């Protein structure tokens, strides 16, 4: 499954602070439909993500009934992205 969408970069102040992009609701529903085939536990879904020219492997995780994609610092720096930037994200679910 390949998903592509545009969304705003957010910041989570939790115990391990990080930047993330929220997967839109309609795509989260599609992900929930295949969850049992792709998750490795706790609802985590492995993906290859791409923003701009940068591609990396990560795992989406459930939050507030949907999914979020964590953004590595190296990705944000390479693509010159900050909090609040609108990005186009391409996800290939494994």
Domains of the chain: 2-93 (2.40.30.100)
In this prediction, residue 58 has a pLDDT band, given cuts at 50, 70 and 90, of: very high
- Whether residue 50 has pLDDT greater than 80: yes
Residue 48 confidence (pLDDT): 98
Question: What average pLDDT score do residues 49-77 get?
Answer: 95
Q: What pTM, to 2 d.p., does this model score?
A: 0.90
- Whether residue 85 has pLDDT greater than 90: yes
Angle at 92 between CA 73 and CA 74, to 5 degrees: 10
């Amino acid at each position: 499954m390949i998903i592509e969408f545009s969304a705003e970069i957010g910041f989570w102040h939790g115990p391990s602070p990080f930047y993330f992009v929220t997967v839109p609701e309609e795509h989260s529903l599609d992900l929930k439909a295949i969850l049992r085939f792709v998750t490795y536990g706790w609802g985590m879904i492995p993906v290859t993500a791409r923003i701009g020219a940068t591609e990396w492997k990560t795992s989406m995780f459930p939050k507030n009934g949907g999914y979020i994609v964590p953004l590595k610092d190296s990705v944000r720096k390479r693509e010159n992205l900050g909090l609040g930037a609108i990005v186009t994200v391409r996800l290939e679910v494994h």
